[in-house]
Amino acid sequence: MRVSMNLELKDIPGQLVLALQPISGIKGNILSVVHHHDERTPRGSIPVHVLFELDKDKLDELIWQLEKNGVLVARVGEKRLHEKMSVMLIGHIVHTDIRDTIDAVDSTGCAEVVDLALSMPGIEQVSSAFMMIHASTKENLMSALDILHKTADRKELLMIEPIKNTI
C-alpha cells in the first residue's frame, strides 16, 4: 500500500536518518521526502512529509519503531488516488464556470482535479485549461472522464485527452 506520513523531528543532527531508516529497515520503498527545515510546528519541531510503499501488515511495526526513535508521527494516511490522467479543455472556460466543471469531477467521490493551469489571452477570446485528474481506480478515472466529457459537451468546450496506444 502507498502511505503518506507527516512526521515531526527534533532540530538536532541525525533526526532525519532516525525517521527514514525504519522505513527502509522493514522493506518500505521511499518515494519522496519533503523536509521543511526552515519551518516549525506549533510544538517547535521540524515537519517532514514522507510518501512510501509498504506491506499493510507492517505499518503498526513502523509507527512503533519511529516513536521508539523519538520521532513524532503526526498523521498517517493511505494514498487512495493512484490513477491519473491529464486533459486539456479549450473554449470559454471561465465564462462557462470553471468551478462547476471541477465540481462535476470532484463530486464523484472517487476522483478529483488535483492541478489546474489556465490560459486566458483576452476577455472575449478562447481560453484553455490543463487539468490533472487523479482517481482511485482506472474504472473510476474513466467514469470521471465520462462526466467531464458530458460537462464539456454541455458547455461547448473541446476536450483533448492523451492519445492511447491500442497496439
Tens of pLDDT, residue by residue over 102-140, are 888 888 777 888 888 999 888 788 999 999 888 877 888
Per-residue pLDDT, 21:
95
For the chain, the domains span 2-78, 83-160
Helix (H) or strand (E) holding 140: helix 138-154
pLDDT of 9 > 60? The answer is yes
Q: What pLDDT is attached to residue 35?
A: 86
Overall fold of domain 83-160: Alpha-Beta Plaits (3.30.70)
- Which residue is it, cell 512510501? 52
| Position 165 pLDDT exceeds 50 | no
Q: Check residue 26 and give its pLDDT.
A: 93
> 3-state class of 62 per DSSP?
helix
Backbone φ, ψ for residue 15 (5° rounding): -70, -35
Question: What does pLDDT average to over the chain?
Answer: 87
Q: Do domains 2-78 and 83-160 have the same CATH topology?
A: yes
> How much is the pTM?
0.52
Q: Which of 17-26, 101-110, 148-157 has the lowest mean pLDDT?
A: 101-110
| 122: enclosing H helix or E strand | none
In the predicted model, what is the mean pLDDT of residues 39-63? 88
- Judged by DSSP in three states, 12 sits in coil
pLDDT at 167: 46
The mean pLDDT of 77-87, rounded to a whole number, is: 74
Q: Which CATH class is domain 2-78?
A: alpha beta
